[in-house]
Amino acid sequence: MDKNENIFIIETCENCRQHNWNTRHDENKYKNYALEMSAKIQEFIPNAQVQINEIPKNWVDYEIYCQLVPNSDPANPFFKILPRIGAFEVSFKGVLIFSKMLSGMWPHFDAVAGRCQKLFEDFQSGQDIQKFQTNGQEAKRVDMKKTKRFESPSKSPDMTMSSSIKPQNQSPKASLVIQETKAPAEEKPVIKDPKPAPQEQKPPAKEEKKEAPKHDAPADVLCSNKLKTPEDLTGFPTFPAGTKSSLSRHLSRDIWNKYHNEKDSYGFSFKQAIFSGCQNVDSGIGVYAGSEDSYVKFADFFDLIVEDYHKHKKVDKHVSDMTTTKLIAPPFPKADAKMIKSTRIRVGRNLQGFPLGPGITNEQRKQIETNVVKALETFEGDLAGKYYPLNNLSEADRKKLIEDHFLFKEGDRFLEAVGLNRDWPNGRGIFHNNEKTFLVWVNEEDQLRIISMQNGADLKTVFDRLCRACAHIEKVAKFSHNEHLGYITSCPTNLGTALRASVHIHLPVLGKQKDAFQAIADKYYVQIRGAHGEHTETDDHIYDISNKRRLGRSEAQLVQDMYDGVKAMIDKEKELSRAVGPKEMEVGTHLKKAKEIIAYPRFPAGTKSLLMKNLTPEIFEKYRDKVDKHGFSFLQAIFSGCQNTDSGVGVYAGSHDSYYAFSEFMDKIVESYHGVKQHVKEIKMDSSALNAPPFPEEDASMIVSTRIRVGRNLADYPLGPGITNEQRKMIEKRVSESLATFEGDLAGTYYPLNNLSEADRKKLIDDHFLFKEGDRFLEAVGLNRDWPNGRGIFHNNDKSFLVWVNEEDQLRIISMQNGADIKEVFDRLCRACAHIEKVIKFAFDEKFGYITSCPTNLGTALRASVHIKLPKLGVNKEKFQEIADQFYVQIRGAHGEHTETDDHIYDISNRRRLGRSTVDLVQDMYNGVKAMIEAEKAL
């Protein structure tokens, strides 16, 4: 024996789609399983060679290899195998290691590969490998777990098992001839001896009284795919060991004796109702109704099926609610919604006055199609679309429906057995709306399958569309319904609502925690499938989550089941993600997006921002997955300070609601900066309340210019970091319309930045009016998005009044002029703000005052300042700062914050914003400037 031989053989079924209807199956499954089995063998035995449906020529004498294709090519060392229907076998040098045909199951790849490995080790060491010959009892072996990966295709009655093949010690050519001409073996005649042996002779028995002949009951019928028609059920159906269908559990002899010759009012027989489960013993249910009357005529049987599956007793009543009014399904937060790839809700419906699909005639099916199409053609708006009859479908339409995954095919062997494929494709068709979010299948399993679907997580919109469509159809074609079973369907599992609401959702962490995943599913009455259908696995961790219940609860309640289950799964996914993820992460300029903050931020040494000082691990965990009501996330709010660790504050709000959605954190930031927790109740924008008499001429000459500005945002919109491009344009439109109504000293011109002439641009730059895109701090929070759309500048004719539109805040309103007349500048600002607010309501809050994106501006959002020349006081830093502290003002260089000055011209402005009125803050600035002038003169 050549110990270097390392070839394993896989024989697997081919051309499966061309088999007879009762042995037809998906060839891709056989092919894929063969490839997977091959890969697993080579994983266990790295130097193994695996041949699929071919053997080495020198193995022809092994008796298990039959049906070979002649091959006289000396360069080709292999014979092709003509595989048998349903075959899936693994062998090595004539030893059959695994046979699906003998075991009745699919291989457990690791177990079979493990047996191959042990066999190969014994082969290499010269031991007998015949002990690895299978007898089809893998289920009893410790190392061969029964793993049914999908429903097994039916076996052909004439299949030949490899273990029963006669020895084939002929050439391939002779083998093929024998296959074509093989006749049954002759039976040897049995010759009886007319004289029995002496020990067999018995004395003549007394003549017994003959009894009347008995009429034997028909023999029981063993259920299998050998049954061809319901009439083959000539006796009580019995099922092979391992059958688990509802039919096998509930079909008693008493029920059989009561109904086996009965039919419902449409002529659908009891034998037809149970035939699919008798022919296909791997059915889950195995029972179908031919009409609504089937559930009445065969009630003693169907009641058992319904109660077993739905826990719905025969005295129970069904409820229906095809409206969204009671559905509590608020939109998922933006981060959560991203996990959900698509949403789909469908119902099955059948028409009153007709049998169901299994019991319908060809003419009745066509009439149903006519009635339904009449209703579909009257759809309007988002439901309007086109109907495509399958028996008159152009090749272009067929191709398009296939591309859209809308085309349905003939039913599987279970539906074939109950007659649902009769007269295919007559009376069948597909309707879809123009947006391809609404679909109706006509005369598939049920007479109508009505489907609403779309990408994303908007469950309520999908359900609303379905409800409107069903209500519209039923105006023309009334559905079959009763108070006990709800909407009537051919399969008892769909009774009640006949509704399936599902999402495809990405759960990479929870998907690995099978027990936790299933516990949530059980709690919320939902089921988990692979995204490619029932019993499928998923490598990408996208799962199909759908309601499990159908009967006894309304449509709205079942959609609620699904919503609640999905929400719980999302929450668990996030919890597990945090548990397996890092506890902390370094932050800095390497961050590009807010979603990159996946753990508690760790700031570099020397960071002094309010974000760093107030963000605790507990606050981060509380808000890390939260968004405000406009969808602006906590991570977005802190991103600028995480990316730019030299920030002073590092936090921005995306809307008014940000201050409340993240309140525990935002309150700390506000109090840290402003020293107070909330604003004053009364806001006074009234220059008459300001005590600011004109400075004496000598004093006034020190003041170069005066400028007072406020920031404002509109009440009906998010703030700049959370606004959309369209919202920004709408704000610009409303504000510019208001500015156009100014009169007198406030009248002027608005310049939109996205439509600015070169001459206007140069003039605005010369006047120092033109604002540019925000710095890196504002860039990080999204304030530069869509630049320069929706931005603009207004100034009056005297150039003493200016409005910036959609800069950091939505309005920056500025009053200014050369000289020291603070009261006049403030009066102009007060009049302008009052005028704008007659048309546009500003975002205002009793706790925080005027709402702004940066927490430092909350309250008044006011900065009142002068540029003043103080050459002596400017040298005396301590005295200078002492006055500033006394009057709550701050000192800057005239060219901006943190700038130095050689000419001793300083920018003096109010320091406080929140907790004081606008008048108080202008008064702070006036009083501080006055004190500084006095000190300058004293020096």
d(CA 405, CA 409): 11
Beta partners for residue 221, in sequence order: 237
Instruction: Please tell me whether residue 614 adopts helix, strand or coil conformation.
Output: helix
- Reply yes or no on whether 243 is catalytic: no
Closest CA to 861 of 823, 813, 894: 813
- Reply yes or no on whether 500 is catalytic: yes
Q: Which of 116, 467, 491, 854 is catalytic?
A: 491
- Reply yes or no on whether 346 is catalytic: yes
Q: Which of 84, 413, 500, 831 is catalytic?
A: 500
Q: Which of 24, 349, 428, 449 is catalytic?
A: 449
**Residues forming the annotated binding site?**
342-346, 405, 449, 500-504, 529-534, 705-709, 768, 812, 863-867, 892-897
Q: Which of 115, 346, 550, 553 is catalytic?
A: 346
- What is the amino acid identity at position 570? I
- Please give the distance of CA 553 from its chain centroid, rounded to a whole number: 25
Categorise residue 690: left if φ over 0, alpha if ψ from -120 to 50, beta otherwise: beta
Q: What DSSP string runs through 529-554?
A: EETTBTT---SS-EEEEEE---SSS-
Q: Which of 231, 534, 737, 846 is catalytic?
A: 534
- Reply yes or no on whether 529 is catalytic: yes
**CB contact at 8 A, 444 and 365:** no
d(CA 813, CA 684): 16
Instruction: Please tell me whether residue 470 adopts helix, strand or coil conformation.
Output: helix
d(CA 363, CA 405): 28
Where would I find the beta strands (DSSP E) of 468-549? Answer: 481-482, 486-487, 499-506, 526-530, 542-547
Kind and range of the H or E element at 863? strand 862-869
* Beta carbons within 8 Å of 744's beta carbon, 6+ residues apart: none
Closest CA to 929 of 812, 821, 826: 821
Q: Give CA angle at 696 (692, 702), nearest 5°.
A: 95
Beta partners for residue 263, in sequence order: 269
Where would I find the beta strands (DSSP E) of 234-309? Answer: 237-238
Where would I find the beta strands (DSSP E) of 279-421? Answer: 340-349, 385-389
* Beta carbons within 8 Å of 608's beta carbon, 6+ residues apart: 648
The total number of residues shown for the chain amounts to: 939
Categorise residue 423: left if φ over 0, alpha if ψ from -120 to 50, beta otherwise: left
Dihedral angle, C-alpha 162, 168, 171, 172, nearest 10 °: -20
- Reply yes or no on whether 449 is catalytic: yes
Report which DSSP code applies to 230.
Answer: G
Q: Which of 160, 243, 361, 493 is catalytic?
A: 493
Q: Which of 445, 555, 808, 936 is catalytic?
A: 445
Q: Which of 149, 249, 422, 529 is catalytic?
A: 529
582: cis peptide before it, omega within 30°?
Answer: no
d(CA 902, CA 884): 20
d(CA 112, CA 703): 93
Closest CA to 925 of 746, 703, 697: 703
d(CA 156, CA 70): 25
- Reply yes or no on whether 445 is catalytic: yes
d(CA 857, CA 670): 10
- Give the count of beta carbons closer than 10 Å to the beta carbon of residue 756: 17
The number of helix segments (H) and strand segments (E) in the chain equals 28, 31
**Residues forming the annotated binding site for ATP?**
342-346, 405, 449, 500-504, 529-534, 705-709, 768, 812, 863-867, 892-897
**CB contact at 8 A, 555 and 497:** yes
**CB contact at 8 A, 191 and 137:** no
- Residue 205, exposed/middle/buried by CB under 10 A (0-12, 13-18, 19+)? exposed
- Reply yes or no on whether 428 is catalytic: no
d(CA 906, CA 904): 6
- Reply yes or no on whether 493 is catalytic: yes
d(CA 87, CA 98): 11
Residue positions annotated with a catalytic role: 346, 445, 449, 491, 493, 500, 529, 534
